[in-house]
Homo-oligomer: A and B are copies of this chain.
Amino acid sequence: MATLTHQTPQTHFLSKLPLRTKPRAISARVKMSLQESAPSLAVVGVTGAVGQEFLSVLTDRDFPYSSVKMLASKRSAGKRVAFDGREYTVEELTAESFDGVDIALFSAGGSISKAFGPLAAERGTIVVDNSSAFRMVDGVPLVIPEVNPEAMRGIKVGSGKGALIANPNCSTIICLMAVTPLHRHAKVKRMVVSTYQAASGAGAAAMEELVQQTREVLAGRPPTCNIFGQQYAFNLFSHNAPITENGYNEEEVKLVKETRKIWNDTEVKVTATCIRVPVMRAHAESVNLQFENPLDENTARELLKRAPGVYIIDDRTSNTFPTPLDVSNKDNVAVGRIRRDVSQDGNYGLDIFVCGDQIRKGAALNAVQIAEMLL
């Protein structure tokens, strides 16, 4: 996947969608890892934006494996994908696909997860699922490794037992990466989140359509609106997730409910407004925090400096703060605009601005980090 910065010519960008095509040389590490003791893997939805990022992250992190199955729908079966110096043929996903598979990374939508996740787990596979299918199911751990690794205690490759583990929603992961270190120190009472969400959250086709629409609008032609049904280029709109009974959309409800489950805190109050902006692959979030205990902005900065997976961009003099492009294709979440909230008394409130790569930490990287904890 590409960022659409000036470093990434557009031809390059499109050529990388949806499939990685250039195999790399097999490394010594790969040869070493291709051994019986390493886990056997499956990637479900491998031809999608997150599926492709799974492969990229597995390679980047030298994830050990003895074998890997590339799985997708019948439509994509037979396609070739490159991974870690080899070419693989995409196989059609069936229940039998999971025979002998230790870890399966799923990102093929909620209905595929619902249909095949439990079947895989019954066969002894540990499923790390990127869809929303099981996130709020009791007993299914919902995990950000830097935040609540304890939730998946006892789930290990080699135990002979399959399991389901849910990857949180991208907006939740990116928000809580920055907020949890503050929460641990001063306990968040209430959080107001407004998001600036990238095209990638709606998949590779949405990213392509944003490029296409932008070209069309610049040329004075009507924009092609297949994905969102409205102009996205030079525009923004309320997140396209369905609206629930209370007027919140499902994306916002995820931020509310997943935060409670991940923090194991049924009391924390969260409200969110989720907005789609014409940005390619990284989300931004404006987060207002109310704390139970005092937390001044310097302490907050120190806490965030030490937080794993987080870095600070917060130079007031040069007006340099996190942007989606800063974090695109990057692992870590950037935090800035750290300041005492002037609308609250004393040191009981902070405003921060967070950016994170939606496909990477918001999806694929977090899932692979979960898989690493299984070893």
Is A161 in the interface zone, CB < 8 Å from B?
no
User: Nearest chain B CB to A332's CB is how many angstroms away?
Assistant: 18
**A214 is contacted by which of B11, B214, B236, B297 (Cβ under 8 Å)?**
B214
The segment from A165-173, A174-182, A215-223 that touches chain B is A215-223
| Interchain CB contact under 8 A, B4 and A323 | no
Q: Given A246-B339, A273-B353, A342-B248, is A194 in contact with B237 using a C-beta cutoff of 8 Å?
A: no
Q: Give chain B residues whose Cβ lies under 8 Å from the Cβ of A336.
A: 238
| Interchain CB contact under 8 A, A288 and B5 | no
User: Nearest chain B CB to A285's CB is how many angstroms away?
Assistant: 9
Is A280 in the interface zone, CB < 8 Å from B?
yes
Q: Given A10-B220, A247-B339, is A286 in contact with B275 using a C-beta cutoff of 8 Å?
A: yes
Is A284 in the interface zone, CB < 8 Å from B?
yes
Q: Give chain B residues whose Cβ lies under 8 Å from the Cβ of A321.
A: 237-238
Is A234 in the interface zone, CB < 8 Å from B?
yes
Contact pattern, A 4-35, Cβ under 8 Å of B = 1, otherwise 0: 11101111100000000000000000000000
Is A319 in the interface zone, CB < 8 Å from B?
yes
| Interchain CB contact under 8 A, A316 and B196 | no
Q: How far is the CA of A246 from the CA of B351 in the complex (A)?
A: 11
| Interchain CB contact under 8 A, A235 and B325 | yes
For A11, A192, A325, which residue has the most chain B Cβ atoms within 10 angstroms?
Answer: A192
Q: How far is the CA of A339 from the CA of B316 in the complex (A)?
A: 35
**A343 is contacted by which of B271, B316, B323, B324 (Cβ under 8 Å)?**
B271
| Interchain CB contact under 8 A, B220 and A8 | yes
| Interchain CB contact under 8 A, A194 and B286 | yes
Q: Given A4-B234, A242-B319, is A215 in contact with B217 using a C-beta cutoff of 8 Å?
A: no
Q: Give chain B residues whose Cβ lies under 8 Å from the Cβ of A185.
A: none
- A306-359: which have CB < 8 Å to B? 316-317, 319, 321, 323-325, 336-344, 349, 351, 353
Is A190 in the interface zone, CB < 8 Å from B?
yes
Is A277 in the interface zone, CB < 8 Å from B?
yes
Add 19 more A-B contacts to A4-B217, A238-B337, A277-B278 (CB < 8 A). Answer: A5-B217, A5-B231, A6-B231, A10-B218, A10-B219, A194-B194, A196-B236, A234-B278, A235-B325, A236-B284, A237-B321, A238-B336, A247-B340, A256-B342, A271-B342, A271-B349, A273-B288, A275-B353, A277-B277
Residue pairs across A and B with Cβ atoms less than 8 A apart, 13 shown, are A4-B234, A5-B217, A6-B220, A6-B223, A192-B288, A196-B196, A235-B325, A236-B277, A236-B279, A243-B316, A246-B340, A247-B339, A256-B342
